[in-house]
Amino acid sequence: METRNLVLIGTGDLNDMRMLAALLEGNEYDVAMASNSGTLREQLRQRQPSLIMVDAYLPGVDVADILHAMKSDPDMAEIPVIGIVPAMDVGLRQTLWRSGADDLVGRPFEPDEILLRLRTALEARHQAQESANLETLLFSVVSAFEAREETKKGHPERVARMARRMGERMQLSPADQEALYKGGILHDIGMIKVPKHVVDKPGALTSEEFELMKLHTVWGERMCRPVQSLQRVLPIIRHHHEQIDGKGYPDGLAGEQIPRLAQILAVTEVFDALSSDRPYRPRMSRPEALRYLNEYASRNWLDTGIVAQFLKMVDEEGWPEIPPLKHESLNLDNSDTPGGIRDKKTPA
């Protein structure tokens, strides 16, 4: 038997309460009711509603405060809240929007509009939950790859933290900062489809092996594309191996054609790759890794401005820390690609 959605209605207007309850129960919703703020809080403690409808004039409380509290509570933040307001009260509408209302319905009520807004809010919540579940699944794939590849352990999280911190320092939007973090976690997820003997090869790759390796960016984007919440992350996954000179992969984008977030992640990814052990070379020391970042910028592989900001971040914050070296570093002065980007000629 399919579970019915529970709608919690908070209003001190008994006529509105009866009308809304009859409308929703007649359309296969379960209904809980609260006529004041105390009852509303008690209902929220005892039950987990699928959606909340709350009157802006609910007795005993400033509804804007209730909205803010609910949206700040991790256990309640995902529950859609529809505010009930007078149709012509523009100021009150703006207050509820700012306080976190997911939608508003105006008095006098239009039954069809109410049902449409409920269905829309619940569908949005369902899609968000599905996206969150798929994100969790994809993060598990990354963890499985880390468990398989010893030299990749911790790499996604370090890249993610560095990229997000760069976004903070560059005063990017919260959405872009989140995309950088998720992009850091997921940027190499497509590597799970690259044959293990290619990933683990200690020497230079053949032309065929290198073509397989390059496909991890395309595969990763395809794996994440169905997840609605990752749409902003897709260009990062696909384009983090593009180069400013247009000689990167998979699409050979150049300069400003490369999405800005992908350029930021490329710098943090290359730095962490340089300072980590790989099957084809030992890690570099921190000074060497920073020196190579500068060199790659001068060769027009990485964006000079982003590299400069990364170096400034490291200089000012003394972060990220790198574990002690296990080996002496290789001299890679004659390599043809960035140390974090492997090619078929040089085991960079």
Tell me: the pLDDT tens digits for 100-149? 888 999 888 899 989 999 999 998 888 888 888 888 889 888 888 777 76
Within 13-89, residue ranges assigned H as helices are: 14-25, 37-46, 63-72
Q: According to the model, what pLDDT value does residue 60 have?
A: 80
Q: According to the model, what pLDDT value does residue 260 have?
A: 97
Confidence of residue 279 (pLDDT cuts 50, 70, 90): low
CB 202 within 8 A of CB 347: yes
Tens of pLDDT, residues 144-192: 877 776 656 778 999 999 999 999 999 999 999 999 999 999 999 998 8
Confidence of residue 2 (pLDDT cuts 50, 70, 90): low
Per the structure block, which two tokens stand in for 219? 């595969």
Confidence of residue 76 (pLDDT cuts 50, 70, 90): confident
Q: Which residue has the tokens 């490369």?
A: 258
Angle of helix 111-148 relative to helix 155-169, nearest 10 degrees, comes to 130
Strand partners, 7: 31, 51
149-317: CATH homologous superfamily?
Answer: Hypothetical protein af1432 (1.10.3210.10)
pTM above 0.85, yes or no: no
Q: Which of 139, 96, 102, 134 is nearest to 117 (CA)?
A: 102
Domain ranges of the chain: 6-126, 149-317
Question: How many helices and strands in the chain, by DSSP H and E?
Answer: 14, 5
Confidence of residue 319 (pLDDT cuts 50, 70, 90): low
Q: According to the model, what pLDDT value does residue 100 have?
A: 86
Q: How far apart are CA 141 and CA 136, in angstroms?
A: 9
Architecture of domain 6-126: 3-Layer(aba) Sandwich (3.40)
